[in-house]
Amino acid sequence: VLTAAAGTAEQDYLDSGEEAVAAAALVAAQRPGGEPVTTAYGPKDPLPPLPADLRPLAVRALDRLTGTNAEPFDLWEEAGAGAEWLAGIAALRAVLAAAPGE
């Protein structure tokens, strides 16, 4: 899901990016400063440690989701909550982009 979102060209419309945000949140949850995922819709058992190479991939996916032609951002913006959604994405991105050990 992260690869698909990160690999979608900006001129192409990216729909169904919500799964990529959820995947990025799972990666961020294992990083220092990341918030634990506590939802009835998340995994019931703890996830094993995720590969380190998912972190930069998740950052690229989030960057693509905040660019042009991205359905999730378009929908949040149409609902009048685009700034709130971008703030949440920025918080996730900050955790993921931090240098290891920060």
Would you state the pLDDT for residue 38?
78
Would you state the pLDDT for residue 37?
81
Confidence of residue 15 (pLDDT cuts 50, 70, 90): confident
Domain boundaries, the chain: 2-97
Q: What is the pLDDT of residues 19-45, one digit of tens each?
A: 999 999 999 999 999 988 877 876 778
The fraction of the chain above a pLDDT of 90, given in percent, is: 64
**Region of poorest pLDDT, from 12-21, 42-51, 67-76:** 42-51
Contacts of 16 (CB under 8 A, 6+ apart): 71
Contact 85, 73 (CB under 8 A): yes
The Cα–Cα gap between 53 and 44 comes to 24
Q: Is the pLDDT of residue 64 over 60?
A: yes
User: In angstroms, how far is CA 27 from the centroid of its own chain?
Assistant: 9
